[in-house]
């Protein structure tokens, strides 16, 4: 099922909440590219994301969180990390942080997690309303280009989800810049040209 976010936001939002609570997958727009996601605390649902993408479970998946407060609930955040993130979020960045002991998520096995607070009202509101992180990995088969609009979503990926939310062309239309705050280095120069946040 495809719902247009711009013309039917309320229905789209309620349908997305219902799907995620039921352990289903959705495809949704962010400020960078379209993501495929689920409740990041649901082991079975996370497994379905790996299966849909054809990606090994040893490869971590990033997550959307509502705000810096939620990030602090799940991750170890130094004062200097908080300053960097405050300056660049919401925005097209993924920040790698250490997981707090006892707050690990099934999206990563290495003790670290990539967190996003996209500059997109739908994503962060959905996470805030559900009070959980939402898986945010690009909605493409592993190794293929990430979609920047609904028309670019591969049929195999589309068939694996219960809901697709059409928000038009993504603002940046390129993947996020990935910054490892544990190692203090940029892992991927993406949207905004990989501008160094340090």
pLDDT tens for each residue of 160-187: 999 999 999 999 999 999 999 999 999 9
Which residue intervals of 54-149 are DSSP H helices?
68-74, 79-88, 121-130
CATH superfamily of 2-188: DHBP synthase (3.90.870.10)
- Cα–Cα–Cα angle for 113, 117, 123, nearest 5°? 110
pLDDT at 57 over 90: no
Share of the chain above pLDDT 70, in %: 97
Q: Quick one: average pLDDT of 29-38?
A: 97
List the domain boundaries for the chain.
2-188
Pairing mode, strands 26-29 and 163-166: parallel
pTM of the model: 0.94
d(CA 71, CA 159): 31
DSSP 39: B
Token pair for 72:
């602090």
First to last CA, the chain: 42
pLDDT tens for each residue of 113-160: 999 999 999 999 999 999 999 999 999 998 899 999 999 999 999 999
pLDDT at 44 over 70: yes
Which residue intervals of 2-160 are DSSP H helices?
9-21, 43-53, 68-74, 79-88, 121-130, 155-158
């Amino acid at each position: 099922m495809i719902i247009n976010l711009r013309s039917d936001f309320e229905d789209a939002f309620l349908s997305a909440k219902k799907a995620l609570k039921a352990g289903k997958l959705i495809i949704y727009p962010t400020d960078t590219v379209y993501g495929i996601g689920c409740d990041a605390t649901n082991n079975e649902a996370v497994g379905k994301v790996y299966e849909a993408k054809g990606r090994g479970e040893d490869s971590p998946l990033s997550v959307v969180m509502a705000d810096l407060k939620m990030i602090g609930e799940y991750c170890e955040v130094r004062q200097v990390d908080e300053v960097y993130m405050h300056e660049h979020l919401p925005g097209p960045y993924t920040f790698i942080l250490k997981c707090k002991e006892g707050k690990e998520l099934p999206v990563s096995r290495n003790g670290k997690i990539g967190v996003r607070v996209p500059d997109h009202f739908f994503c962060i509101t959905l996470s805030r309303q559900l009070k959980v992180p939402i898986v945010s990995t690009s909605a493409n088969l592993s190794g293929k280009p990430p979609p920047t609009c609904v028309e670019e979503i591969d049929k195999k990926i589309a068939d694996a989800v219960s809901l697709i939310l059409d928000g038009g062309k993504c603002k940046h239309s390129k993947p996020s810049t990935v910054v490892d705050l544990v190692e203090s280095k940029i892992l991927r120069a993406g949207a905004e040209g990989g501008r160094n946040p340090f």
